[in-house]
Structure 1
Amino acid sequence: QMEKAGKKLGMKTAVEIFADRNYEDNGNLVSRSKSNAMITDPEIAKKHVVKMVENQALNCYSGKQIPCEIDSVCLHGDGKSAVKTAKQIKEGLIKAGVILKPLNKLKKFI
């Protein structure tokens, strides 16, 4: 909703996905009160992110994909495996041929 509101106001927006969170079929994050809300395994998080970026779509817990533009990946840094997860995600994205850039270097912001 924030992306739509920003675009409606003529703002440049970046769309962020969460590496370590699961999504409901409506695109909302799975509530943290549910056992499947968080992705704690670095390998699963890597596959989750690479698939979303390659397909430009949210991966829902049910298997459904919701098309969306993806500019940024958020990883919660307070988890036990955050550093390992970040490294694996970066390696996975590079291996998949994704060019990593700061937001201000993306074509849509220049």
Structure 2
Amino acid sequence: MDINSDLGESFGAWRMGDDAAMLDIVTSANVACGFHAGDPAGILQTLRQAAARGVAVGAHVAYPDLVGFGRRNMDPTSSELVADVIYQIGALQGLAAAAGTRVRYVKPHGALYNTIAHDARQAEDVLTAILAVDPSLTLMALAGSPLIGWAQARGVRVVAEAFADRAYNDDGSLVSRRLPGAVLHDAQAVADRMLQLVQTGRLTSITGQPVAIQADSICVHGDSPGAVDMARQIRAHLLQAGVALQPFVALD
């Protein structure tokens, strides 16, 4: 199993999360590309830390929305969205090369992530951008979403992920952040929940129903309160149960 987290999101004097601590825990790092968060110097530092720890790096591409942290819905034209995603991947590739690593996958962020999980037009735009930059890049997508099939149809390798710190609806979709109980904070309960996922392929929905989730990566949001402790407990819980932890992409 892979454990990933959204990192590189600090901006100037605004500090977001503890990248150094998270990089000692996770196996993959979704690194901001400057559109929703992150400044070049901070991104470069995070990439250097990831390289030093042997953590796989992915481009955490987003809508151009610094004020809203990339969590506001947008409707860019196809030409805009394709160019925006190419621009962000390219920027991170340059910084990654300077840090002694490389970008191996793409994970869209926030509103873009949720939109392309079900919106065919924007999904095709993101896939077109990935193929234009590097067809070998893997796309990380929401487990159970139509995006997985769309990516496979375009020849893009795709890996499904589950969210450790998010509640699920009965249909396998994420509970909206606007609703109470959408974000989970009990580190021990979350660790137990992720072990259940790995061992059974199921999670318990917000209404108490079992939900089938096929995932090869577990995400812990780096900006959530107590994120480091939560990730640490998940890692320890899985290792204690004999689960091997490694990036979903090969490091060469």
Bucket of the pairwise TM-score, normalised by the shorter protein = 0.7 to 0.9
> Match for 2:214 among 28, 44, 69?
69
User: 1:99 maps to which residue?
Assistant: 244
C-alpha contact (below 8 Å) 2:172/2:212 kept by paired residues: no
User: 2:195 maps to which residue?
Assistant: 50
Pairing 1:5–2:150 present = yes
Calculate percent identity across the aligned residue pairs. 33
More strand by share: 2
Distance in 2, Cα, partners of 1:63 & 1:14: 26
CA RMSD of aligned residues (A): 1.5
Which 5+ residue runs of structure 1 have no aligned equivalent? 106-110
Structure with max Cα Rg: 2
What's the CA shift for 1:68?
3.3
> Match for 1:30 among 172, 175, 179?
175
Distance in 1, Cα, partners of 2:174 & 2:212: 15
What's the CA shift for 1:98?
1.1
What's the CA shift for 1:77?
1.0
What's the CA shift for 1:40?
0.6
Which 5+ residue runs of structure 2 have no aligned equivalent? 1-145
Distance in 1, Cα, partners of 2:213 & 2:172: 10
Count of matched residue positions in the alignment of Structure 1 and Structure 2 = 105
What's the CA shift for 1:64?
2.3
Distance verdict in 2 for CA 1:8–1:57, change over 3 Å: farther
Distance in 2, Cα, partners of 1:2 & 1:37: 22
What's the CA shift for 1:65?
2.5
C-alpha contact (below 8 Å) 1:22/1:30 kept by paired residues: yes
> Match for 2:223 among 67, 75, 78?
78
Shift >6 Å, 4+ stretches: none
